[in-house]
A and B are shown apart, each in its own frame.
Chain A
Amino acid sequence: MKTLHMNKIMAIAQVKTKAFMGKNCIIMPLFALGFTLLMRILYGKMANGGSSADSMNAYALSMGLVMNIGMCGIYCTSLLLAEEKEKKTLRVLMTSSVNGMEYFIGCILPVFTATVILNYVLMPVSGYIISGKNLVLYSVVTILSSLISCIIGMLLGIFAKNQVSAGTITTPVLLVLMMVPMFSNFIEILSTISKFFFTGILMDMIMDIAADKGSVLQAGSVVIMVVEAVLAVGLFVVCYRRNGFERD
């Protein structure tokens, strides 16, 4: 087991925070905020048709969350890793006494933190506030989802040589993780598949909270999320051991 040095992790996290604030990345959380607000307004108008405003706002929240977790957690993490390769700073860093685990933690820390914070900010933006016991469940599921998405982002980042290829590689994964839950209401098979995605579990949970169901999170769903987290870590470790952060 490698020794972890906090000075190195924090130094990497500080620089990654600065990179995250760059124009290529910061647009993603802003996009998630804007998208949620837009959905709230659009669904707010639709609510007059019959569905309750609360339920529509909850739907806007669930869509915003999936958007945030996908675009911020997966895309930004992958993009930041790809940028280091493109600018040839990754090898410099890895030959400056930083080990793989320190770099991994330092990289995902700012994006993970931003994703988690935004998950809470999206509540007032969507107009749907969750409280009490459900807020605890909301926290557990969104935090776990954000973590899985950041690990997937790092995993995909291994295969991206530059920022353009990061976009190319992450887009199909993002589409699947975001679109399957979003369209699960309309296509039955997608509804079944969506139950096996952490993004689908998250959306279902929000809608179940809005529907005031007694049990909003199934034990099976928790198991699926944990398995996905373990799988993401496992895949990442296998790919990292084979190629490091650079697949060349």
Chain B
Amino acid sequence: MSREYIRLEHISKKYKTEPVLKNIDARLHEGEILGFLGPSGAGKTTTIKIITGQLKQTSGEAYILGINSRDIDETIYEQIGIVTDNSGIYEYLTVYKNLEYFAKILRVKKDRIDEVLRQVGLYEQKNKPAGKLSKGQTQRLVLARAVLHSPRVLFLDEPTSGLDPSTAIEIHKMLLELKRQGMAIFLTTHNMEEATKMCDHVALLNEGVIVEYGTPKDICLKHNKIKKYAVRLHDGTEHLLEQNQENIGRIHNWMTENQVETLHSCEPTLESVFLNVTGRELS
């Protein structure tokens, strides 16, 4: 049984009288990725801030690495890494010096800097001033800094927001490798493809409420109430068929006559589940 790294119990948060989180429950274990999926303003970043002790919840309890978030101090940050879409870098320092700064603070051996730079694909740019990096490279530097001390829990707040697809894929690869090594990753995103591909569990968050929680596959199957199949025949015609006796017979005939070019079941995506449950789009 893998160890529990994060536990949220009935977390609620109000800014003045406006509720932003309502009765949130979630768990994250070692070597897992938990995704908080929701549109802007759903409460994803607020959740991260509560777990990491940057913000106090109105009610409920949050535990990180077994410690109540109300009791944590700065030493917790030796065991966690945080990446947000507005994490800054020291533009007047080189890429290497940026990491060296945090290596000194976190007592990390210097050999690790080169190792991490290779991991994120920034080794060739190590002597370049950080202010001259592209947006994708900057985000990779922020990620390198967050994993420099090999944290047990990594928080990623929209890590691939605004990045080109190839950089996003590189970052996904790196995150899956970190997960394989046992790191627990708490990911917030409004990109449902990213969530489906990366997360072991996802929480669909809407206006501060978790409207669905589970594995991406289970959530999609749960909402697959009207089963449909997309069929493309050799003559180029496409058919979207609901599962019933008549259509089963049609598909059977096409297959018998070897007319089927492609056949796919049409489960809903996380995006369509979200739309179905909340009436809102994710992005």
Contacts and interface: CB of A to CB of B under 8 A. Distances in A.
A97 B105 contact: yes
Contact of B106 (A10, A84, A97): A97
Given A14-B104, A87-B90, 9 more contacts: A10-B104, A15-B93, A87-B88, A87-B91, A89-B89, A92-B88, A92-B145, A97-B77, A97-B106
Which secondary structure characterizes the binding site on chain A? helix
Interface string A88-109: 1111111111110000000000
A7 interface: yes
A37 B276 CA distance: 75
Contact of A95 (B82, B89, B93, B104): B82
Interface in B75-130: 75-78, 82, 86-93, 101-102, 104-107
A137 interface: no
A19 interface: yes
Interface string A65-90: 00000000000000000001001111
B21 to A, nearest CB: 19
B73 interface: yes
B69 interface: no
Interface of A: 2, 7-8, 10-12, 14-15, 18-19, 22, 84, 87-99
B54 interface: yes
Contacts of B57: none
Given A88-B86, A92-B87, A98-B74, A11 B54 contact: no
Q: List the 9 closest A-B pairs by CB distance, nearest first.
A: A88-B88, A11-B104, A89-B88, A97-B77, A87-B88, A99-B74, A97-B78, A8-B105, A11-B105
Nearest to A93: B105
Nearest to A3: B75
B52 interface: yes
Contacts of B89: 87, 89
Question: Chain B interface: which size bin?
Answer: 20 to 34
A7 B75 CA distance: 14
Contacts of A15: 90, 93, 101
A96 B88 contact: no
Given A15-B93, A18-B93, A19-B92, A7 B74 contact: no
A95 B86 contact: no
A241 B88 CA distance: 24
Contacts of A87: 88-91
Nearest to A244: B54
A92 B145 CA distance: 10
A7 B54 contact: no
A92 B93 CA distance: 15
A22 B92 contact: yes
Interface in B3-33: none
Contact of B52 (A2, A14, A19, A95): A95
Contacts of A88: 86-88
B74 A94 contact: yes
Contacts of B77: 95-97
Contacts of B105: 7-8, 11-12, 93, 96-98
B30 to A, nearest CB: 21
Contacts of A22: 92
A4 B91 CA distance: 27
Contacts of A18: 92-93
Residue picked from B90, B93, B107, most chain A C-beta under 10 Å: B90
